[in-house]
Amino acid sequence: MISSTPRNEALFDRARQLMPGGVNSPVRAFGSVGGTPRFMVSAQGPYLTDADGNEYVDLVCSWGPALLGHAHPGVLEAVHAAVDRGLSFGASTPDEANLAAIVKERVSAVERVRMVSTGTEATMTAIRLARGFTGRNLVIKFAGCYHGHLDGLLAAAGSGLATLALPGSAGVTAATAAETLVLPYNDLGAVEAAFAKHGPNIAAVITEAAPANMGVVTPGPGFNEGLSRITTQHGALLILDEVLTGFRTGYSGYWGLTGGAAGAVEPWSPDLLTFGKVIGGGMPTAALGGRADVMDYLAPTGPVYQAGTLSGNPVAMAAGVATLTQATAEVYSYVDARSLELSAALTSALNAAGVDHSVQRAGNLFSLAFGTSANGVSNYEEAQAQETFRYPPFFHSMLDSGVYLPPSVFEAWFLSAAHDDTAMNRIFDALPAAAQAAAAAKAPVSLNV
């Protein structure tokens, strides 16, 4: 049991004096679960160690990149060798093309690749590219899907299915948000209506291959395929955001599980894809790829400008090449099996405690949604309507038992190839008490009269 965190508390107090909220990415602040964030100082295999020396079984895995486990020897060896050669050259390096070739081999929809530094930069570039290629301005996104913090996609839905959006964050202008149409997820009818009204002005539809930022939500049968059909009919592009799912949910990402590469009823391909997380093996790297005729609109071959001093950083490229080279079919089979094992144990514990819930799945990614057993969660409205108050006590019970979960109910759970029987048993042992804590949680009292 974790009983003492004085060093973590002192570090958080200091960080709040130096950084907004004491963090450099909001979810780390534990805002939705309360308590003191853990400041991690090392990681090995399936474990994290915090500043007080407490060890946790990790179910965040750096939000995906630690597919092989933390500090994997093969990845560290490649990174150390790259560091010995120099941190950055401001020039092309061999591993940029090596990593691009691996991406192209794994994802047949990709004919060209551009390396960038973050998932936000990848989606930002994909949007700009789609507008430049089509000569159109509007973009469709779906409520609850997250594509990074670029202004145009931090938009909230308007009052109707095909109305223009309003700003979803301070600092985003109404004019910028108005170039985005926000539609309910898993609703092809809404997409058809939007194209009927705005079709000649729509440059692209962007969607997470399988949403994992409102909790995990499985695309309905034919949904992604339908998006491909509709965009093709109207001369728009389909951007499939695989920053979270790419090379995480399978050898070829989520599209590889469900799209043209998987022998779908009607094989389909996105026009552009964005990648992050696993592609960098833990280093800050991302990419976009897709059709050659579209990608060649990027500078220097085309008129759409994009550049990055540290794009294709040699250390990050080495980490990505080593990670994807060692992420074999056997690795994915193992992670898939462990994911099914854990989600079954989670359901069993919650059922035993009488807690209504659903486990939302997309490949080996899954998340927990309370009070949703009747129909599960298929869109953002349903995700928001769940019994979120049950998650903080569940989270802290697991944390106190030495299991580090995502500090938000709206995030996916991640496993790695390093989660062996010892690590899994520690998780299983912690679940019954956490389920009881969730069962005992009380809904907040409304002050409305």
Just list the catalytic residues. 146, 241, 277
Q: Give the closest residue to 139 by CA, choosing from 35, 272, 31.
A: 272
Give the Cα separation of 139 and 164 in Å (integer): 10
CA 134 to CA 231: how far, in whole Å? 12
Residue reference for tokens 């007080």: 52
> Which residues, other chains included, contact 349 with Cβ-Cβ below 8 Å and sequence gap of 6+?
431, 432, 434, 435
The SS3 assignment for 77 reads helix
The answer to whether the CB of 236 falls within 8 A of the CB of 197 is no
Helix axis angle for 391-400 and 421-440, nearest 10°, is 140
Report the DSSP pairing between strands 55-58 and 47-50: antiparallel
For the chain, how long is the longest CA-to-CA vector? Answer: 67
The DSSP secondary-structure symbol of 413 reads B
Beta strands of 246-404 (E only): which ranges? Answer: 272-275, 286-290, 357-362, 365-370, 403-404
Examine residue 300 and say whether the peptide bond preceding it is cis (omega within 30 degrees of 0): yes
DSSP, collapsed to helix, strand or coil, labels residue 163 as coil
